[in-house]
């Protein structure tokens, strides 16, 4: 097979076990692919061939000896650059951390290493995960493999674009308000945001701690379940992880959704939604119906309209607290041309952070300041509870909710960068899920203007198995996920 880089996890795993493929070959094929296409896509910020090939040879040794046969063993991955990797730069695509090499691994990386996966490198993102287009990277924007003049979405745009372009077999992203699902939808790949507390955040550079989750970005739903199996679970290093055992998510991969009750909340078909995206979604929903699901299109979640406002109070507030640590004292960029401590801190932040990060810090600092706290932060938290309660109520009647992942297809580079509000609007369908801490997956569900359209499936808390099953059933009955961009 000359197109080794096209393999999915479960295909590669089979070949590795049969002995007809080695991890070293697969790893080299991915690096070759990166060399061929990444000068156009710009998905990677760091690649580490030496470390990766060493990991691959070690995986090959284990596979030959029949030991440690996890499905991920020997399979090459790319990691979003806000997930700490010991000995490998973790920059958050920020000047602030441009030269930062973490002294420890994030818990998810420890889980992957325990399975002897191969880490090819780190992917580009919006600086500190703030953005929806990957244009906020301090280094360079990433391009959508389906149309190089368009954005891949964000903030995990590097991870999603890399998987769409077959630069790695799978990737990890992080999702605070949509950063896994929106780019997955824009790039025609699968992206899952787990329930808050399902996956450890230890070693994930914090953006908004009550919203952040790490999750898989993969070529299909089966791979998504395999990666979730590896990274999910409680963690003594993250007290917000849930103390529940991790099920085997591959057991949810049954092509059977007869009698599952699916709700389609009308508030997600927002004003400004592109007609072609709406049509693609309607066809996808009819498909679910044909497959036996009971679909109710008359569902309402009226508080959805406040989600964007709530998010843009809570996320910047938490960000302003989390980013206070970048003062140039212990690590990261540090302004040295002064003896004055205050000036040094000021200049460190001034030079180290890009415009969007500064905007968020200012918004958050304002919302938390004395006299404004009650009017903004506290109020937002109360509305957050209303949004959560509303989901709880609806989930008494439905097993899952179906929505678009984004109201539009990928937009052009530069189109929204000067209009933050326009940019924030690209997350209207994904943010409510983080506010309520729910799991949701985006899967390929059609094309509009020859560009990918994602369908979002939202589940109950810890209902990952149900959404995987719906996603799997839909995927088995459609061909969208098999379409590949010409690069």
Q: Taking the complex as a whole, how short is the minimal distance between the CB of residue 18 and ligand GLN, in angstroms?
A: 39
- Site size toward ligand GLN (CB under 6 A) is 13
Query: CA 479 → CA 35, 215, 221, 390, 482, distances in Å?
Result: 28, 24, 13, 34, 5
Considering the rule CB under 6 A, would residue 59 count as an interface residue with ligand GLN?
A: no
Q: Which residues are catalytic?
A: 80, 155, 179
Among 277, 293, 315, 429, binds ligand GLN (CB under 6 A): 315
Residues 222-261 that bind ligand GLN (CB under 6 A): none
Considering the rule CB under 6 A, would residue 155 count as an interface residue with ligand GLN?
A: yes
Beta 440-448 vs 451-459: how paired, if at all?
antiparallel
What's the length of the chain? 487
Q: Taking the complex as a whole, how short is the minimal distance between the CB of residue 52 and ligand GLN, in angstroms?
A: 26
Distance CA 272, CA 286 (A): 22
Q: Taking the complex as a whole, how short is the minimal distance between the CB of residue 11 and ligand GLN, in angstroms?
A: 30
Considering the rule CB under 6 A, would residue 179 count as an interface residue with ligand GLN?
A: yes
Closest to 71 in 3D by CA, of 1, 120, 108, 23: 23
Q: Taking the complex as a whole, how short is the minimal distance between the CB of residue 381 and ligand GLN, in angstroms?
A: 17
Stretch that binds ligand GLN, among 7-15, 177-185, 280-288, 442-450 (CB under 6 A): 177-185
Distance of CA 405 to the CA centre of its chain: 12
Stretch that binds ligand GLN, among 14-22, 87-95, 130-138, 274-282 (CB under 6 A): 130-138
Alpha helices in 261-400 (DSSP H): 275-290, 307-322, 341-352, 355-368, 379-394
Considering the rule CB under 6 A, would residue 83 count as an interface residue with ligand GLN?
A: no
Q: Taking the complex as a whole, how short is the minimal distance between the CB of residue 444 and ligand GLN, in angstroms?
A: 20
Among 121, 131, 145, 183, binds ligand GLN (CB under 6 A): 131
Residue 78 gets the label, from left (phi > 0), alpha (psi -120 to 50) or beta, of: beta
Among 132, 222, 234, 403, binds ligand GLN (CB under 6 A): 132
Q: Taking the complex as a whole, how short is the minimal distance between the CB of residue 153 and ligand GLN, in angstroms?
A: 9
For the record, the structure tokens of 110 come out as 């420890």
Among 74, 121, 178, 459, binds ligand GLN (CB under 6 A): 178
Considering the rule CB under 6 A, would residue 135 count as an interface residue with ligand GLN?
A: no
Nearer CB in complex with ligand GLN: 142/229: 142
Among 130, 192, 253, 383, binds ligand GLN (CB under 6 A): 130
Q: Taking the complex as a whole, how short is the minimal distance between the CB of residue 177 and ligand GLN, in angstroms?
A: 3
For the record, the structure tokens of 43 come out as 């998905």
Query: CA 380 → CA 137, 306, 363, distances in Å?
Result: 28, 9, 14
Stretch that binds ligand GLN, among 48-56, 128-136, 215-223, 471-479 (CB under 6 A): 128-136
Among 105, 167, 427, 465, binds ligand GLN (CB under 6 A): 427
For the record, the structure tokens of 130 come out as 């703030």
List all residues 6 or more positions away from 325 whose beta carbon is below 8 Å from its beta carbon: none
CB 295 within 8 A of CB 262: yes
Distance CA 94, CA 124 (A): 10
Tell me which DSSP letter residue 199 carries: B
Among 71, 102, 141, 177, binds ligand GLN (CB under 6 A): 177
Considering the rule CB under 6 A, would residue 354 count as an interface residue with ligand GLN?
A: no
Q: Taking the complex as a whole, how short is the minimal distance between the CB of residue 314 and ligand GLN, in angstroms?
A: 10
Number of helices (H) and strands (E), helices first, in the chain? 15, 11
H or E stretch covering 25? helix 23-41
Nearer CB in complex with ligand GLN: 121/153: 153
Residues 362-421 that bind ligand GLN (CB under 6 A): none
Closest to 11 in 3D by CA, of 166, 235, 204, 237: 166
Stretch that binds ligand GLN, among 50-58, 123-131, 183-191, 292-300 (CB under 6 A): 123-131
List all residues 6 or more positions away from 486 whose beta carbon is below 8 Å from its beta carbon: none
Distance CA 192, CA 186 (A): 14
Considering the rule CB under 6 A, would residue 176 count as an interface residue with ligand GLN?
A: yes
CA count, 13 A, side-chain hemisphere, 215: 36
Residues that bind ligand GLN in the complex, under the rule CB under 6 A: 129-132, 155, 175-179, 207, 315, 427
């Amino acid at each position: 097979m000359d197109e080794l880089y096209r393999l999915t996890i479960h295909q590669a795993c089979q070949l590795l076990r049969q002995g007809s493929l080695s991890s070293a070959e697969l790893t080299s094929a991915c690096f070759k692919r990166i060399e061929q296409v990444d000068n156009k896509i710009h998905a990677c910020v760091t690649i580490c061939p030496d470390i990766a090939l060493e990991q691959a040879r070690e995986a090959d040794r284990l596979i030959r000896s029949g030991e440690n046969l996890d499905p991920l063993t020997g399979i090459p991955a790319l990691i979003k650059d806000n997930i700490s990797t010991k000995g490998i730069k973790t920059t958050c695509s920020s000047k602030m951390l441009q030269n930062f090499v973490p002294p420890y691994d994030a818990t998810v990386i420890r889980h992957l290493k325990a399975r002897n996966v191969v880490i090819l490198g780190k992917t580009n993102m919006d600086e500190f995960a703030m953005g929806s287009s990957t244009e906020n990277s301090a280094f360079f924007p990433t391009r959508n493999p389906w149309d190089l003049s368009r954005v891949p979405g964000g903030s995990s745009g590097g991870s999603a674009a890399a998987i769409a372009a077959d630069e790695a077999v799978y990737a990890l992203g992080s999702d605070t308000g949509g950063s896994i699902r929106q780019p997955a939808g824009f790039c025609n790949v699968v992206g899952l945001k787990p329930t808050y507390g399902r996956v450890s955040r230890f070693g994930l550079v914090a953006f908004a701690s009550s919203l952040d989750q790490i999750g898989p970005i993969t070529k299909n739903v089966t791979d998504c379940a395999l990666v979730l199996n590896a990274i999910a679970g409680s963690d003594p290093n993250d007290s917000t992880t849930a103390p529940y055992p991790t099920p085997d998510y591959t057991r949810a991969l049954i092509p059977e959704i007869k009698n599952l009750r699916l709700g389609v909340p009308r508030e997600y078909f927002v004003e400004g939604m592109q007609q072609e995206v709406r049509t693609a979604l309607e066809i996808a929903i009819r498909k679910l119906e044909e497959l036996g699901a009971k679909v109710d299109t008359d569902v309402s979640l009226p508080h959805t309209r406040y989600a964007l406002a709530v998010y843009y109070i809570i996320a910047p507030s938490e960000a302003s607290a989390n980013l206070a640590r970048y003062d140039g004292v212990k690590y990261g960029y540090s302004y040295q041309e002064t003896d004055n401590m205050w000036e040094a801190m000021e200049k460190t932040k001034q030079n180290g952070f890009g415009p969007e990060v500064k905007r968020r810090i200012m918004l958050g600092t304002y919302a938390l300041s004395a006299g404004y706290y009650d009017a903004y932060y506290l109020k937002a938290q109360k509305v957050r509870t209303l949004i959560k309660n509303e989901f709880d109520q609806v989930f008494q009647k439905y097993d899952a909710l179906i929505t678009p992942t984004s109201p539009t297809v990928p937009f052009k580079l530069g189109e929204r960068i000067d209009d933050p509000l326009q940019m924030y609007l690209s997350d209207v369908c994904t943010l409510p899920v983080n506010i309520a801490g729910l799991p949701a997956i985006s899967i390929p569900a059609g094309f509009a203007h020859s560009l990918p359209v994602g369908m979002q499936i939202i589940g109950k808390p810890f209902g990952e198995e149900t959404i995987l099953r719906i996603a799997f059933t839909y995927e088995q009955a459609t061909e969208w996920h098999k379409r590949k961009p010409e690069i």
